[in-house]
Structure 1
């Protein structure tokens, strides 16, 4: 089968929606040259609020409450929680509820987290016990879809959707909530954090935006996997790139459930790069990942510790024109009877990104068995434009028996979906 015929593109597309916003923290300070020992800028704002006539404060609260409640179900609680977060920075004294509300609002901002782009999707099967996890008909699969949203300042956040993939490749995305709900920081130790999203009525309301210094400019390209450990316990895990504006490193998002997440950095010499993706189970007792540590080849990494990665070796190098510049894995490998099916991205002329695939040995994934000499998905005439033109990219697909559903990004701007079969993908490969 010709590589270009392996996947069927579906009509469904996901476009950025600037109407979806979240209330997130807002901080401010004097420039260093003007920070001359006077009270902080934050304290100055608080003093102005407290000096305002109480009747005017009440009217100010009423004026803000009405529009905020139209877009945010829990705006009042968010502002009061924000006041509690900055309480230690603003001096002593008692604050009435209007003061707390207004101070919380001054230290907050409404942020359109997917106003510029909604792309680089990844997906896994929803856990059976998830609230959103019950299929509507026999043979249908409920899934969790993660997406990278970009808003003001080119800051990346993670947002989610749910949907159903049914017989006959019927694909339905659940309508997302109009509300975006910020997570509550439940616990912080060193440079990891636990986030509680219990205010979210469904996972589409959950927005994971940068909360650690390492993520100042973004939480990028989450690659989801349902990991089954040797004791049979399953958990949804995602690796992502944390970017502070200058340096990137790999971190891990672990879903304790669909309402609680832990974010922590990965340690070791292999983790200061992009694109790492975890295998869905241990191999020979070790955790295993794919990555592109040298920005050119696909690497295989092994570790006894899920959070520390110090050793790896390249297993697949550019060979064909569409991947001469760079090869990388898309998402986590999919386990099939023949081995590990891995979707790859290749970079070629005019920095064009295409999607291919390879097959790794099941017992020893350092052995490359086969690969596609031509791309399976590429920037076609109708899907070539976008914020970054000539880019077709994915952070991972979903396997159901011998069917494959692959979400992919177009032009670093929006997302689409394609379906295929394992047999057709393997038929498009040649021996390595």
Structure 2
């Protein structure tokens, strides 16, 4: 368990030098600190070990032109739970989605954007996709999609696909939570069409999507979607739940990106424009309607000890297991590869990727020091990174001395790099 900084010792501290934080570093610090707070109220060992558990005999502080980081420390790769891993993964996913849309349109195809939601009530559980436990809202959402547009959709959907020239789909998952209305789970979809559809064709396609969705959701055990809603506290704003297809002028610069990115990612350090933004960054958005929280805002509330938020956070943590943040339909990967758009990395591989920039080892923290003096004290892991950035080895030496640790015994100098 993490503790507050003991009396007479410094947690984060102020590293030597007058280093002024960049916007990127400020975003990094926020993600690091939020991960620490969220881990305190989480139950899963994988997420709780992110940035804390060693997979080697020591942690190495390393520095590069774009900042500092640790080597030898576990990265969880949990896009739905971890603010640290999520940021890196979603940048890559957003970039892929943006490039896919641009390449497809440049090659003569079209794009249609849609949202697929469920009617929901506070009493309904988040649910899970786990075998022998499958149920709840998340199962209804996925089974509804499968029945409407997936492998259980039947001939009617195949006919609709041919009629509208649907080649494939890139789908993203989102959820929010409200104290009065509970969990709201939904999909955003980017449909690839053989050619750009005229507005009236998009409208017809939307009706086909909506008809299929309504029947499939009911068959999956959900409530029939409604076109309007007067229920107090509902997050739909009176528009109901079901399918929404938006008409976007693809010739207007940035229009699709603005549509998908309007809710944004509050923790991202650099803005990403384009079609992939909301599809990738919905996890860290704030709810559209007052009183609703995005997943990481829910984690913030849970970290304060608010009982209902803690319960919801832990329920979601269990239920989001095996839920794909982004899904690309069969055949589209090959079609996009023909256009030069390829990214076959898993979420874990993206989260672990430090980039191609060479990093210089600054200090080595042995296992005993790491687990006894660094991990238990909140803020120290981040403080070491900031010290390395501000003043290198000298700043790290000064900081650990303030903590009562001895350079050369508790924290070791990094070995000299081998000659290339």
| TM-score w.r.t. length of structure 1 | 0.25
Structure with a larger share of its residues in strand: 1
Structure number with the higher helix fraction is 2
